[in-house]
């Protein structure tokens, strides 16, 4: 279909990493049917480094209608719930970064349930 945004190829993105802050620790995930709740410990930031929009950035590969889809989420909270359905040939997984004005921490892997 012409002009269908779903037909566009996904372009690779290079994140800017900073070594000033660590990735979140104590990352955990629990499943309740098709809802996965991910939680982590706070990473304190200096006031000058706080990103105005979000403190954490998640890269998630979620199963949606039988296809593994790349999804990004950002939050200031220490927990987030996403929908992850059954039926994909590949396993769902995710990465969690601390977000700062200068870039992102190295990722912490989400232990997918």
- The tally of CA atoms less than 13 A away on the side-chain side of residue 33 is 0
Reported as a single tens digit per residue, the pLDDT across 71-94 is 999 999 999 999 999 999 999 999
**Alpha-carbon gap, residue 75 to 87, rounded angstroms:** 28
Reported as a single tens digit per residue, the pLDDT across 31-73 is 999 999 999 999 988 878 777 778 899 999 999 999 999 999 9
**Alpha-carbon gap, residue 98 to 103, rounded angstroms:** 8
Which residue has better confidence, 4 or 60? 60
Which residue has better confidence, 105 or 37? 37
């Amino acid at each position: 279909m012409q002009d269908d945004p779903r037909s566009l190829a996904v372009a690779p993105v290079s994140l800017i990493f900073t070594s000033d802050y660590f990735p979140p620790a104590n990352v955990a995930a629990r499943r309740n049917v098709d809802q996965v709740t991910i939680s982590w410990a706070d990473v304190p930031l200096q006031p000058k480094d706080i990103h105005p929009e979000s403190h954490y950035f998640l890269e998630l590969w979620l199963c949606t209608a039988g296809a593994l889809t790349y999804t990004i989420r950002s939050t200031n909270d220490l927990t987030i719930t996403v929908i992850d359905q059954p039926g994909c040939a590949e396993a769902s997984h995710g990465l969690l970064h601390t977000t700062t004005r200068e870039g992102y921490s190295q990722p912490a892997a989400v232990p997918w349930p």
